[in-house]
Amino acid sequence: MDSTLVYLKRTLLGEKLEFSLLDFGLKFIAAILVLMIGILLIKLVMSVATSALKRTVQDPTVRRYVSSAARILLWVILILVLLGVFGIETTSLVTVLGAAGLAIGLALQGSLSNFAAGFMLLMFRPFKAGDEVEVSGVTGTVIEIGIFSTIIDMPDNVRAFVPNSTIFSGVIRNRSVHEYVRIELTVTVGEDVEITRAQQLIQRLFITNDQILEIPRPDVQVEQGDSSGVKLAIHCYARLRDAVAVRTSLIKQIREQLRAEEIKVLKG
């Protein structure tokens, strides 16, 4: 009797093991097929989405942002389908992942705020790649608006990675919105100088410099005057691409012109 029971248990266990291995093998083969089909579908969907984004969205940064988010979402869906093929209950798994996501979110509040700020920057578009901006104390050319930070190349050839949250919560100065910018200079001359004559000499430099715009009109105003000298505020306008060259050349020309006319330059 005992030997019969042992034989039956071994037979049943063997059949159960064989059935489990066969079931797992079938599920594994099905998972491989689903994975291959899923990868092909993801490539197809991303190809169609990329083509559609190129036609509808001009900004390459926005295209990369949307494309990355879509790819991540598609892979998450594929992984959930694969887990379902193996018989794993995805509902409870989603609940666990949601709880884990909440905990991770609380631990990474700064990163999430940068992500949200990056999305808002792409939505409201206060600047784009290639613009000359001043944000969070950093001035330079925008290279890319990333998921967590914005890449800016500064004039001294140093690359800065500025967190998106500090950009979106602060003042954004975009110098590329308008075609021209104002150049502001100051020069201090002696108190005994004939101010009108000094102003006229500087005005002549505006006329001879082709890079200085006629409209809006440039001007030279007396900012303040005391026993230490008279400060002249000089305002003129130039195209953005010429602004640096105009500033550099104008400072030199003003000093040379005033000194050539024997006007004492104290500072500027």
Residue 54 lies in a domain: yes
Give the integer Cα–Cα distance in Å for 62 and 53: 9
Residue 114 lies in a domain: no
254 and 205 within one domain: yes
144 and 101 within one domain: no
Number of structural domains in the chain: 3
90 and 15 within one domain: yes
Give the integer Cα–Cα distance in Å for 260 and 252: 12
Structural domain containing residue 227: 180-267
What pLDDT does 4 receive? Answer: 54
* pLDDT (average), residues 110-124: 79
Amino acid letter, 254: I
Residue 120 lies in a domain: no
Q: What distance lies between CA 31 and its chain's CA centroid?
A: 39
Is the distance from CB of 94 to CB of 81 less than 8 angstroms?
no
227 and 154 within one domain: no
* Residues whose CB falls within 8 Å of the CB of residue 162, separated by 6 or more in sequence, listed in order: 135, 136, 138, 149, 150, 152
196 and 155 within one domain: no
Residue 115 lies in a domain: no
187 and 162 within one domain: no
89 and 161 within one domain: no
> What does the radius of gyration of the chain's CA atoms come to, in whole angstroms?
34
Tens-place pLDDT, residues 52-73: 777 776 667 667 777 777 888 8
pLDDT band of 12, cuts 50, 70, 90: very low
Residue 254 lies in a domain: yes
More confident residue, 136 or 9: 136
Whether the predicted pLDDT of 161 surpasses 50? yes
Give the integer Cα–Cα distance in Å for 102 and 95: 11
- Residue 132: φ, ψ to 5°: -90, 115
Whether the predicted pLDDT of 77 surpasses 50? yes
Last residue of a domain, one of 54, 72, 107: 107
Residue 44 lies in a domain: yes
Nearest to 150 by CA among 82, 65, 216: 65
Q: What DSSP letter does each residue of the chain carry, written as one string?
A: -HHHHHHHHHHHHHHHHHHHHHHHHHHHHHHHHHHHHHHHHHHHHHHHHHHHHHHH---HHHHHHHHHHHHHHHHHHHHHHHHHHTT--HHHHHHHHHHHHHHHHHHTHHHHHHHHHHHHHHHH-S--TT-EEEETTEEEEEEEE-SSEEEEE-TTS-EEEEEHHHHHTS-EEETTSSSEEEEEEEEEE-TTS-HHHHHHHHHHHHHH-TTB-SSSPPEEEEEEEETTEEEEEEEEEEEGGGHHHHHHHHHHHHHHHHHHTTPPEEE-
101 and 15 within one domain: yes
Tens-place pLDDT, residues 131-145: 999 999 999 999 988
Tens-place pLDDT, residues 185-228: 888 887 777 888 888 888 888 888 888 888 889 998 887 766 67
Whether the predicted pLDDT of 245 surpasses 50? yes
Is the distance from CB of 82 to CB of 35 less than 8 angstroms?
yes
pLDDT band of 237, cuts 50, 70, 90: very high
Q: What is the pTM of this model?
A: 0.55
Whether the predicted pLDDT of 107 surpasses 50? no
Residue 231 lies in a domain: yes
Percent of the chain at pLDDT > 90 equals 12
What pLDDT does 135 receive? Answer: 93
What pLDDT does 11 receive? Answer: 54
Percent of the chain at pLDDT > 70 equals 76
Q: Which CATH number do you get for residue 31? A: 1.10.287.1260
184 and 167 within one domain: no
57 and 40 within one domain: yes
pLDDT band of 258, cuts 50, 70, 90: confident
Is the distance from CB of 232 to CB of 222 less than 8 angstroms?
yes
Q: Average model confidence (pLDDT) for the chain?
A: 79
What pLDDT does 144 receive? Answer: 87
14 and 103 within one domain: yes
193 and 103 within one domain: no
Last residue of a domain, one of 174, 191, 208: 174
Residue 149 lies in a domain: yes
Q: Which CATH number do you get for residue 152? A: 2.30.30.60
Is the distance from CB of 128 to CB of 60 less than 8 angstroms?
no
For the chain, give the number of residues. Answer: 268
Least confident piece of the model among 74-88, 152-166, 169-183, 250-264: 74-88
Kindly state the tokens that stand for 34. 């689903």
Kindly state the tokens that stand for 112. 């999430």
Q: Which CATH number do you get for residue 218? A: 3.30.70.100
